């Protein structure tokens, strides 16, 4: 297939591009390189030294003989460029990662809230709008988030996207209907992914677009089989308070002797997936498009759930790191249970990589190897969800 990877320079986009290129597909990365600009804005860099996208694709070609094409286009800002590119290339499938993906970054200030909403909602809408206008019947696979559900199971497992409900009619009969699981975002970033869901629902219904939405959990790890092939193909690895996700942060903190930064009691339970499984899930989703005219296909892209305090204790036990129990900068439930249905990917052949010591050690090794690149002052998470939280965190004890 000819596949366009929107946001193919990012943390999941890059290994996905390599994985699909390796599987024989013709890959076109479309990216505005915003993630690299945000690094500059925040004054942080990936733990792993990352080459330019042009250099990365050159190394991939030298290593494998396969070409990955790169096009500098901003989905949210350059509608006409995007439309021209789609008209010329007419890809068979489009994978959409081209969104600002960090919850803390989205909550930093009013400007960051606006940027996240404008960027994410416009990118998604521009893409669908252009597809309809060009009569492009490409399968769109979007990277969504488990965060659209909120994180409480109220005693029942979270289904894959749709909730069966019975509605009582005026005549007392019960009519059954599948509705989108009630959206319950916990940040401006997660809110944009909830808005995406509505946009998808409309375009699938109105224009028969074929759309798959992947509700992904927190990704951990850094290498995939393909990024391992050459040191210049290495994936990015974020450890800072805005973009670093919790498990990868704990692993780098352990490697540099920084107390593990648990927010609150650490009673939050979240869904997780290893980066290798993430790219495999995208491949599986691409191979199983919904029929034209059917509703949006939704998968829960996660393999296990863990409590944050449990993860911290596990890593402390493995490495001897200390744990720091910090005031929580986020407005979120101090504790929750989480049970998630994920049978659809398992039935289609996903073999989950679960959190094992060996794999955790592998990430600690990456962290140790590049520890000299860490700026310890960028480790704390300082983005507060509300003014009150900001005031209470910054108050001297
Ligand atoms: N947390 C800590 N200590 C830290 C960092 C985080 O205790 O140093 C806690 C947070 O308070 C939160 C949990 O760990 O309760 C997860 O935080 P996170 O930063 O790992 O994940 P999150 O902000 O939810 O976002 C990440 C990705 C996002 C993706 C989402 C999947 O950045 O793109 O959509 O995970 S999910 O969490 O399932 O919604």
CB proximity list for 202: less than 8 A, separation 6 or greater: none
d(CA 104, CA 292): 37
Q: What is the pLDDT of residues 322-347, one digit of tens each?
A: 999 999 999 999 999 999 999 999 99
Report the number of distinct structural domains present in the chain.
Answer: 1
Nearest CA to ligand 1 atom 39: 147
pLDDT digits (tens, 9 = 90+) for 117-159: 999 999 999 999 999 999 999 999 999 999 999 987 778 899 9
Distance from C-alpha of 301 to C-alpha of 248, rounded to nearest angstrom: 18
Q: Confirm whether 189 is a catalytic residue.
A: yes
Specify whether 258 is catalytic.
no
How far, in Å, is the centroid of ligand 1 from the Cα of 273? 12
Partners of 71 in beta bridges: 30
For 72, how many CA atoms within 13 A lie in the half-sphere containing its CB? 7
pTM across the whole model: 0.97
φ, ψ dihedrals at 273, nearest 5°: -155, 145
Burial 104-117 (b: 16+ CB within 10 A, else e): bbbbbeeebbebbb
Q: Is the pLDDT of residue 362 over 80?
A: no
Q: Where in the sequence is the domain holding 52, given as residue range(s)?
A: 2-394
Determine the distance separating the centroid of ligand 1 and the alpha carbon of 396, expressed in angstroms: 26
Q: What residues are in contact with ligand 1 under a 6 Å CB criterion?
A: 101-103, 145-147, 217-218, 245-246, 249, 261-263, 268, 270-271, 308, 328, 330, 332, 381
- The 10 Å Cβ neighbour count of residue 219 is 23
Indicate the top mutation candidate among 186, 263, 306, 333 to test ligand 1's pocket, ranked by most ligand atoms within 8 A of CB: 263
The pLDDT of residue 360 is 80
Are the CB atoms for 233 and 162 separated by under 8 Å?
Answer: no
- Of the listed 193, 227, 258, 353, which one is catalytic? 193
Q: Which of 289, 102, 104 is nearest to 213 (CA)?
A: 289
- Asked if 120 and 192 touch (Cβ cutoff 8 Å), the reply is yes
> Which of the residues 145, 192, 227, 305 is marked catalytic?
145
Residue 327's H or E segment, with its range, is none
Give the pLDDT confidence of 305-322 residue by residue, as tens digits: 999 999 999 999 989 999
Beta carbons of 245 and 329 less than 8 angstroms apart: no
Helix axes 308-319, 357-369, angle to 10 degrees: 70
pLDDT for 397 equals: 45
Q: Provide the edge-to-edge strand list for the sheet that holds 218-220.
A: 218-220, 269-274, 304-307
Nearest CA among 36, 41, 42, 32 for reference residue 7: 32
Q: For the chain, where are the alpha helices, taking DSSP H only?
A: 13-22, 34-42, 53-64, 79-89, 103-106, 110-133, 188-207, 246-256, 275-287, 308-319, 343-347, 357-369, 387-394
Of the chain, the percentage scoring pLDDT greater than 70 comes to: 99
Distance (Å, whole) CA 350 – CA 302 = 11
Judge whether 145 counts as a catalytic residue: yes
Query: What gap in Å lies between CA 66 and CA 40, rounded to an integer?
Result: 31
Which residue's alpha carbon is at the smallest distance from atom 38 of ligand 1?
217
In 3-state terms, what secondary structure has residue 46? coil
**How do residues 87-109 score in pLDDT, each as one tens digit?**
999 999 999 999 999 999 999 99
Among protein residues, the one with the nearest Cα to ligand 1's atom 33 is 101
The Cα 206–Cα 87 span in angstroms is: 21
User: For the domain that residue 285 is a member of, what is the CATH number?
Assistant: 3.40.50.720
Local confidence band at 396 (pLDDT 50, 70, 90 cut-offs): very low
- Calculate mean pLDDT across residues 270-295: 97
Give the active site residue among 105, 149, 181, 189: 189
Cα separation, 157 vs 317, in Å, equals 30
Q: Which atom of ligand 1 is nearest to the CA of 101?
A: 33
Query: How far, in Å, is the centroid of ligand 1 from the Cα of 50?
Result: 23
With 0-12 CB in 10 A as exposed, 13-18 as middle and 19+ as buried, what is 267?
middle
């Amino acid at each position: 297939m000819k596949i366009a990877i929107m946001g193919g320079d990012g943390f999941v986009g890059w290994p996905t591009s390599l994985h699909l290129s390796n599987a024989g597909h013709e890959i076109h990365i479309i990216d505005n390189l915003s993630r690299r600009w945000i690094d500059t804005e925040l004054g942080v860099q990936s733990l792993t030294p990352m080459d330019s996208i042009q250099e990365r694709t050159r190394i991939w070609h030298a290593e494998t003989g396969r070409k990955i094409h790169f096009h500098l286009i901003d989905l949210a800002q350059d509608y006409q460029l995007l439309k021209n590119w789609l008209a010329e290339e007419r890809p068979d499938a489009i994978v959409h990662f081209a969104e600002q993906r960090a919850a803390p970054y989205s909550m930093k200030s009013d400007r960051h809230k606006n940027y996240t909403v404008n960027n994410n909602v416009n990118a998604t809408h521009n893409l669908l709008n252009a597809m309809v206008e060009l009569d492009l019947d490409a399968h769109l696979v979007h990277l969504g988030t488990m965060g659209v559900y909120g994180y409480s199971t109220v005693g029942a497992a979270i289904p894959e996207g749709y909730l069966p409900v019975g509605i009582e009619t005026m005549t007392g009969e019960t009519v059954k209907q599948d509705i989108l699981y009630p959206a319950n975002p916990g940040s401006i970033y997660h809110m944009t992914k909830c808005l995406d869901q509505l946009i998808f629902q409309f375009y699938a219904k109105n224009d028969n677009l074929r759309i798959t939405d992947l509700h992904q959990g927190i990704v951990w790890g850094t290498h995939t089989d393909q990024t391992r092939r050459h040191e210049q193909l290495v994936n990015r690895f974020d450890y800072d308070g805005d973009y670093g996700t919790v498990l990868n942060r704990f692993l780098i903190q352990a490697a540099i002797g920084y107390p593990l930064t648990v927010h609150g009691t650490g009673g939050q339970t979240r869904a997780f997936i290893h980066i290798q499984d993430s790219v495999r899930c995208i491949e599986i989703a691409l191979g199983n498009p919904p029929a034209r005219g059917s509703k949006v296909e939704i998968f829960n892209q996660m393999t296990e759930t863990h409590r944050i305090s449990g993860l911290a204790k596990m890593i402390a036990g493995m490495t001897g790191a200390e744990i720091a129990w910090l005031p929580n900068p986020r407005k979120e439930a101090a504790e929750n249970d989480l049970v998630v249905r994920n049978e659809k990917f398992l039935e289609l052949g996903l073999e989950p990589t679960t959190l094992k010591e060996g794999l955790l050690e592998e990430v600690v090794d990456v962290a140790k190897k590049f520890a000299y690149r860490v700026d310890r002052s960028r480790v704390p998470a300082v983005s507060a969800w509300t003014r009150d939280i900001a005031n209470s965190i910054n108050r001297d004890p």
